[in-house]
A and B are shown apart, each in its own frame.
Chain A
Amino acid sequence: MANAGRACDTFPKLMRMHAAERSDRPAFRHKDRGVWRTWSWRQAYDNVRGLAEGLREAGVVHGDKIAIVGANRPMLYWAVTAAQMLRAVPVPVYADAVADEMAFVLENADVKVAIAQDQEQVDKLLSIRDRLPHLTRIYYDEDRGLSDYDHTDLQSLESLMAAGSAALQKDSGLARAMDASIDHGAADDASIMLYTSGTTGRSKGVVLAAGRSVAAARDTVAFDHLNDQDSQLAYLPLAWVGDHYMNYAQAYVAGSCICCPEGPDTVQDDLREIGPSFYFAPPRVFESMLTRVTIRMEDAGALKKKMFDHFIAHARRWGESILNRQPVPLAARLHYALGEALVYGPLKNVLGFSNIRVAYTAGEAIGADLFSFYRSIGLNLKQLYGQTEAFLYVTAHPDGAIRAETVGLPAPNVHIRIADDGEVQFKSPGQFLHYYKEAEKTAETLTEDGYVKTGDAGFFEEDGQLRILDRAKDVGKLANGVIFAPKYIENKLKFFPNIKEAVAFGDQKDFVTAMLNIELTAVGNWAERNGVSYASYQELAGHPRVYELIKGHVDEVNAALAREPRMAGAQISRFLILPKELDADDGELTRTQKVRRSFIAERYAPLAAGLYDGSEIADISTEVTFEDGRKGVISGRVRIADLSPHAPASKERAA
């Protein structure tokens, strides 16, 4: 191949290289109709070329924006590469976005062509079509239910690909032109546009360059020794930087295999079947896995439960030391080995972790208990800290120096500094080019010497590891001047399996308060075992005994806060349990499940007021969106509970 020697600085070039060098190695797998289908790098490359040719004939040219909406499917990943092959810019969109949110992104990005997974997404696109003047065509992957639709501007990807492949076969001129198009792809081409989740305000299109993306992925592939024997389960939203980096970019660099699950409900089973070697999940996924295991053990027989508890306790004592290759007494090692055979091994197998070499978590802080649980049973779980603007990695835990409360050392070739106001700033190989059509915002985010402002407040610990406190602009002060870091407190609350979400208030106030969501599975299970009957979520959330249970958790958090000199003054004085679950559909959470604090404060204004005016009970009525899009009103009285603070501990540091 003429171009084999040339540097691979775009994803299409990488794919072409793999198609030549490891043509028969698996590149993609997808479970469909109960069977894993596999495509080799050669097959995938041919398919991508077919798609690209089809799109080219449909009029897609350099610089066009192509929206990609749906779950993880090989076809949609190929569409990403096909767009890049034409030097067009793919714009993945969150599949669970409601039509309105989708309209904003597609409008903002001037999308010309949209690629949808199935009928549901096509319907959404059609419903917002009149707001999108640039949109010319829609393509879909799964044809179920779409046969009766007007196909003037609608076509299946399958037929697009077939037509494209046929054209390339017949006309070698076209094939050469496609090769040339790949060659023309340049390192500073816009490679992809990822919309930020918009924790605050409207989301922005982060434009990432091809060469930088590849360079960043090369660094981390080397860092974690990934190669073409590895495989990963691609189940995170396509539009999230985590998926684009971990599954797409790293796989294209390393030549590893991208496995797509059958559907969102089968991820756990698919994980077990694939047994990936590399795994990435936000903390809430690890949390819900542990919740499931715990619930299963509650229901298990006495002997099984005893065995489980015994060996997990042993793992908690020694597991992390063994994983970190520290000296451990032989007896403890043997005991651990027995546990591996009886408990840890089967448990990891059930969770799909048997073959994992490296697992990462990011996106939110992870509870120390949760984190060390997985590490203690022998899963090499690490944290990283990243941003869409960095193309993910800013810091990562190195093997052997892992602590739950830090996010690790700067990633390879990343430079980090802490600004005077405590904000973390970085320069990274994958750093973004600019926000699409937002020059002003871009300028605001970059410093004059080219560092990216993360907006996060943090500091370096003595061993050089970075510790993130909170969003810089969220860090406030209580009226008496004590530092108030809401997310820090919220995270501590959320580490309890019974608490699903927490929203802390306190900036400019006399004391700290919190609104909480209970976790229905865990609390429901607890209720069942403790004879607490309830008819609805609302009733359970307001139950006096549930308040008692949660109050215990909040008190523990206060005790933990009291042990930290910086935080001891910001203990929670009052809290309430919200009568409904916070929901992204109601705008209370972002699509990445982060709480929108100020929005919630406004929406539940009577409750927020109640928290500070000393009342025992507050009334609320609020609109909710049901899953089928209908709206309704939830109203009720909410109790407010009081706590007394713990005395700040003298000098001793929390573990």
Chain B
Amino acid sequence: MNGTKYANAVGAVRAMENNLLSRSDIEQLINARSKAEMSSITASKTGTAKSEDLSDVWAMLMEYAPDCKELEILLYRNDFHNLKAVLKAIISNRDPKQYYIAPSNVGLKELTEAINTKDPSGLPEYMRRTASEAYELVTRTLDGQLSDSLIDKAALEAMQNSAAASGSEFMQRYAQLTTACADLKTAYRCCLLGKSAQFTETAVCGSPELEKDALIKASLAGTEQFFSHLETTPYSDGAALLKESAAKYEKWCDDVLMELAESARMLAFGSESLAAYFIAKEAEIKNLRILSVCKEFGADKETITERMRKLYV
């Protein structure tokens, strides 16, 4: 019965996909004249006026597939963000709670305890070394930017390593795309700010389709060289948008992940459909936030439409 895992969870996810916002729902939301109208459109589709939190989506997925370890990779970015937040909060004597992002594989208490006691043994394996190194770096140099780039890179490396260990092609592709999107942005920033080779080396992670050394070399050679190098990679479309505007590039990154999620839409078994649903909900929640902010600032319909992320349904 190989290949028939998570039949129950996939069945539930397929039924829940009917409640995802469709293109016509998004169009209605864009045309809505008030927040109340937006809420009623959302409620008629999702069955609740309360905006859904990603933590609820995660809790639901874990209820259906509690043993699905590869799904945890989806939360690595939050885990490492929380590590950064807790480190900074502890060093500057602030409450880390306000910077903590949920859902996460590691609780705030565990993270705070690990940093306070300088004992990372309570953290997941993929975070331990990074937590120690970042703490040592930030207390020694007081350079928040350096420790941030160390943690960001470690998050991407951890994603790729765990995805490879899981054997899931979907998660491997997810980790590669996430890494490449982050690397492109980081290398471009380093290029614009004229960062040293040493700093860029610390910040860029590298992935099979976006080789690290070549990217660093291109970043150090100036923007023209940087973009002409990217034209030879599978990320040339994203690079063109990055050159144009950061907002367009961010949208492209989200859309690339959504295209990956779409590849799992026809599968009846396996963790891919669960991961795809999580990515779809993430995009939906992001769309609703963008919509709400755009409406608040009186953005026109064209601008809002331009910023809407690709939908799963």
Q: Do A and B come from one complex?
A: no
Residues of A within 8 A of B (CB): none
